[in-house]
């Protein structure tokens, strides 16, 4: 099979799995989280016992295969050929790691706790700490998704030069992204608590990172 065919199939699969992943990310943050803020206790228990596990299955495997097909594309095209794809790939990789290392492990605790309640048992006391950890990582992924999607697109249509020619800008961008990821692990939601806040923050972050790459 020709490399061009493999590259196209990887790109098609990357888009397909990415739609599943990011679509569910937005569902969790823009719909489900807001619903849970208003739902009564029984409704929350039922949703966490039956709905959330199904949604998270598609969510985490969508993330996995988006990441893997992205690696195939980078391997074929050459990793880090532009500043845009470098920043976009870093954001996507952190989002993938947040899913599998923070969101899913903590959500498993919350799901198991609610399933125990639904079966007439007691809640897991660890769930009280696990839920906000998962929520913060999910909000951070929503924040990251906006510049990630922008730079993935701009790498093909509005590229900002080679990685070598933009090394200072890339380093500054990575420092900012690293600080935000540290907050995802140790910090608080802050302005990302609301849907408007996380969307606005994502757009502002995109503008800041674009400005650094474009002007430096």
Please, what is the average pLDDT of the chain? Answer: 93
How far, in Å, CA of 54 to CA of 62, rounded?
Answer: 12
pLDDT, average across residues 122-140: 96
Report CA-CA distances (Å) from 134 to 67, 79, 82, 103, 178: 20, 30, 32, 4, 18
Burial of 138 (C-beta count, 10 Å sphere; 0-12/13-18/19+) = buried
pTM assigned to the model: 0.94
pLDDT, average across residues 40-54: 95
Is the predicted pLDDT of residue 83 greater than 90, yes or no? no
pLDDT tens-digit profile of 168-209? 999 999 999 999 999 999 999 999 999 999 999 999 999 999
Is the predicted pLDDT of residue 159 greater than 80, yes or no? no
| Least confident interval from 8-22, 67-81, 99-113, 177-191 | 67-81
pLDDT tens-digit profile of 60-82? 999 999 999 999 998 987 755 78
């Amino acid at each position: 099979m020709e490399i061009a065919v493999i590259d196209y199939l990887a790109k098609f699969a990357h888009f397909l799995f990415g739609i599943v992943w990011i679509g569910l990310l937005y569902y969790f943050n823009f719909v489900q989280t807001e619903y849970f803020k208003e739902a009564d206790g029984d409704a929350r228990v039922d949703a966490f016992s039956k709905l959330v596990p199904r949604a998270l299955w598609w969510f985490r495997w969508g993330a996995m295969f988006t990441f893997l097909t992205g690696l195939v594309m980078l391997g074929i095209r050459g990793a880090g050929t532009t500043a845009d794809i470098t920043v976009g790939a870093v954001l996507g990789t952190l989002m993938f790691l947040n899913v599998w290392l923070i969101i899913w492990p903590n959500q498993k605790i919350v799901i198991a706790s609610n399933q125990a309640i639904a079966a007439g048992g007691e809640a897991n006391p660890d769930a009280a700490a696990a839920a906000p950890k998962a929520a913060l990582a999910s909000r951070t992924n929503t924040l990251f998704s906006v510049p990630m999607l922008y730079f993935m697109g701009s790498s093909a249509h509005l590229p900002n030069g080679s990685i070598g020619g933009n090394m200072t800008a890339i380093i500054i961008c990575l420092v900012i992204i690293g600080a935000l990821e540290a907050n995802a692990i140790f910090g608080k939601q802050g302005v990302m608590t609301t849907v408007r806040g996380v969307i606005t923050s994502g757009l502002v972050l995109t503008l800041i990172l674009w400005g650094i790459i474009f002007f430096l």
